Amino acid sequence: MLLTATDCLSSSMLSSISLSLRKPTAFSKGLVSRTRTSRLCRASLITRPDSFEVGRLIGSYGFMNITRYCCCCDLKIEGFMFCSYSGVEDLGRLRAQDVGEGSVKIRLYEGRIAQGLLKGTSVVFKVYPGKRAGGVEADMMAANELNAHAFLQSSSKGLCQNLVSLVGGFETKTGEQWLAFRNDGKYSAADYAKLTSEKLSKGSVGESSWNRFEQEQTIRRRRFFVTKLFQGAMIGLAYMHDHDRLHQSLGPSSVVLNTIAERDAAYLIPRLRDLAFSVDIRFPNVDEGPGTLSEGLWRRAAAAGAFTPMEKRAFGIADDIYEAGMLFAYLAFVTFSETNIMDSLSLQRLLESTFRLDLQATREYCLADDCLLEAVKFLDLSDGAGWELLQAMLNPDFRKRPIAEAVINHRFMTGAIL
């Protein structure tokens, strides 16, 4: 069921893609957050199926359920990370870390709006399987993503350019949830890092890499692009936290880019997506109890000594910051290294298991490896400001991690690169 208010909905046959539709139902108890109907209406979502045209399948992806262990503080960190299926082969590398593939398989389609004021607008459809194929979890994820975007897009502060925009959606007779997002880019931060790493492997820092000046210019552009990418992701996260929402699945595949050309970095706008595990941390909603997508978060909060609503809210924000720190590390190491030198899971193992979140020890290790030298130099900028920021974001004590605004205003983010 498309979980939105009945007075905001209408449905009809969508002959262009030969899908049989049933009338969307009202809010279903237990699957929807406490977002007010009036806010959903103000979000002006398009819910008529015949308002859309669906194009080709452009890909599919799912999520990994990851349990991480930090030996230095007996910290157990569970989380979700969306990934394209080209990367699921990485699961076999870290079985000891309790990395499991999620049961919900999501498909992506191109499309456009066929009528109305936004006619011709390019969209990307994110398709959640029906309950028969994806179980109750798929319905919960779709409902949560819909409600999170509707809530954020109804803010009196206006839309945030660093979040993807939901324009509407509908449900098929088989129960599939089709969410339509404005198409603001087809590449993710993971795609950018992969392509950049492949270029390094092929020696294409430039065919004239013998030209030291050109090589330095390429590295300088890359540093600027990566820093602006991370800055944009943090601005989006700060906006969410300012509106009492956690992301809870932040990773390189959850940041979509309007360009991956480093020469066009001035026009780069990173946008956060994948809010299926987003958590409402307004105080009436903190610790909603068993059977919700946030159940694991609040269980981990209690294990970390966060018991009061205020402490749990602070833990949730710090948990997002930790994920953002891992994203920062990924951008630093994968983007500046050749293919197969580093990936997200091996980097996680290096930081958490091998060096137990000791970034000074990590630096010394990486400094001895020529393949990681450019990553070290990047984090060394502004007298080691990158390592300083990374250490703060990955602090084992959640109470000592910075908030998103502090990350944005850190000297590494405001230094000579930008």
What does the pLDDT look like over 307-357, one tens digit per residue?
999 999 999 999 999 999 999 999 999 999 998 899 888 999 999 999 999
pLDDT at res. 177: 94
Instruction: Give me the half-sphere count of Cα atoms (radius 13 Å) on the Cβ side of residue 267.
Output: 9
What pTM, to 2 d.p., does this model score? 0.83
How many alpha carbons fall within 13 Å on the CB side of residue 137? 13
In tens, the pLDDT along 27-58 reads 233 333 344 443 444 448 888 899 999 999 99
Record the tokens describing residue 148, joined without a space: 């999170």
Task: Point out the least confidently predicted range of 19-28, 112-121, 273-282, 399-408.
Answer: 19-28
Task: Report helix, strand or coil for 180.
Answer: strand
pLDDT of 5 above 90: no
The CB-side HSE value for 199 (13 A sphere, CA atoms) comes to: 21
Of the candidate CATH numbers 1.20.1530.20, 3.40.50.800, 3.40.50.10790, 1.10.510.10, the domain formed by 187-408 belongs to: 1.10.510.10
pLDDT beyond 50 at 90: no
Query: Cβ of 101: how many Cβ atoms within 10 Å?
Result: 14
So where are the chain's domains?
Answer: 6-56+104-182, 187-408
In Å, how far are 66, 305, 376, 396 from 76, measured between CA atoms?
10, 13, 28, 10
Q: Smallest Cα–Cα separation from 165: which of 258, 303, 61, 58?
A: 258
Fold that domain 6-56+104-182 belongs to in CATH: Phosphorylase Kinase; domain 1 (3.30.200)
CA distances from 332 to 68, 348, 358, 380, 389 (A): 21, 13, 16, 11, 12
Length of the chain: 418
